[in-house]
Amino acid sequence: MNKHFRAGLFATLAMAAGHAWAVGPQPPAAPKPETLTVGFVKVGHLSPMLGITEPLKACNVTVKPVEFVRYADARTALLSGSVDVSGIGPADLAIALAQGSDRLVGLSGVADSPKYLVVKKGVKIDDWDDLKGKRLGIAPGSAVWFQWAATLAEKKVPYTSFTAVNIQGGGTAFVQSLERGDVDAVALWEPFESQIVATDKGYFSKLEYSQSKAVGAELGLLAATRDALKSKPEAMRCFMWAYKKEEERLAKDPEAFAQAYSKYTGLPIDVTRESAKLIKLGGVLDLDQLRRQAKTFNELGVIPKDVSGTIDTVWDPSLAQAAMKP
């Protein structure tokens, strides 16, 4: 699949999702100096994190950044209380709740993007039947894996029709695995998808897996600990305002987004420019989607119980809504 087709579909999806917002004025500063420990998960769609430090200073809030490579590590840090707020995977609220913890509270989605299987050059995967006998690199339990698994279930494609190869670590491990020939294709995330294609090591197949009813196209979400929301309310309001302000700026300026993406992840600008074309900043996640996710993940055996009936207790978009102009 060529990049022009993919970008065109992305634009159509973005318009359908109704991405439009305007960030309001700075909320009142914290009455006393506060420190927020913020998880910086190094994925491009969380690049607005780079722009929150200075605005938060005006709110009497100091940012203490903690870097993570994986959503799962950020989720663990939130559950332990070692960070106050972070980006996590769209499924992480349901995972934590099913494990008996309501400590995490989801605040807002962050971005969406169409997703296509990335296939090693010379390997043919044009339709779902072509998966038979192939080796597919996956990150079990990752946000991308949830998208993939849900799509397979809805299309009634047996998960056993291919050989799932579990790959640990960040996106670079997937790139290397594909280049070595350990796998025939990967279910991956940006900018590593575009990196593979840009270096002519692989291509985008036509197998799109971001539009399942259960999971959808959301790439992540912002979540905080319940303790931080209670003990640092002004700081949390300022955090959400600062994040949304930077998100709005980058969404309106593709080159600025690509530059921030590059600086945030340490990846080459030529790679992040391509990746930034495919990602639409501004979350599309809502409570109905969270409920569908929770129910489906239980049906797939990913989480031990169905928490779709209580997922609303760990979802609070009020800070994001308050950050916007009326």
Domain CATH code at residue 163:
3.40.190.10
- β-partners of residue 40 are 67
* Same domain, yes or no: 242 and 296: yes
* Same domain, yes or no: 155 and 234: no
* Same domain, yes or no: 249 and 317: yes
Which residue carries 């921030």 as its tokens?
260
pLDDT at 10: 39
Is residue 227 predicted with pLDDT exceeding 70? yes
Rounded to whole angstroms, the Cα distance separating 41 from 230 reads 23
pLDDT at 21: 57
Residues 110-122 have a mean pLDDT of 94
Instruction: Show which of 188, 208, 228 is a domain's final residue.
Output: 208
* Same domain, yes or no: 221 and 108: yes
Rounded to whole angstroms, the Cα distance separating 321 from 326 reads 9
* Same domain, yes or no: 167 and 291: no
Average pLDDT, the chain: 90
* Same domain, yes or no: 77 and 134: no
Which pLDDT band holds residue 15 (cuts at 50, 70, 90)? Answer: very low
Per the document, the length of the chain is 326
Instruction: Show which of 185, 208, 231 is a domain's final residue.
Output: 208
With beta carbons less than 8 A apart as the criterion, state whether 108 and 287 touch.
no
Q: Provide the residue range defining the domain that includes 16.
A: 3-112+217-323
* Same domain, yes or no: 250 and 279: yes
* Same domain, yes or no: 123 and 89: no
Helix, strand, coil percentages, rounded to 5, for the chain: 45, 20, 35
Is residue 171 predicted with pLDDT exceeding 90? no
With beta carbons less than 8 A apart as the criterion, state whether 109 and 283 touch.
yes
Burial class of 192 by CB neighbour count within 10 A (0 to 12, 13 to 18, 19+): buried
Instruction: Show which of 161, 190, 208 is a domain's final residue.
Output: 208
* Same domain, yes or no: 281 and 316: yes
CB atoms within 10 A of CB 78: 26
Q: Which amino acid is at 38?
A: V
Rounded to whole angstroms, the Cα distance separating 107 from 121 reads 40
Number of domains in the chain: 2
* Same domain, yes or no: 130 and 198: yes
φ/ψ region of 266 (left if φ > 0, alpha if ψ in -120 to 50, else beta) reads left
* Same domain, yes or no: 92 and 126: no
Is residue 307 predicted with pLDDT exceeding 70? yes
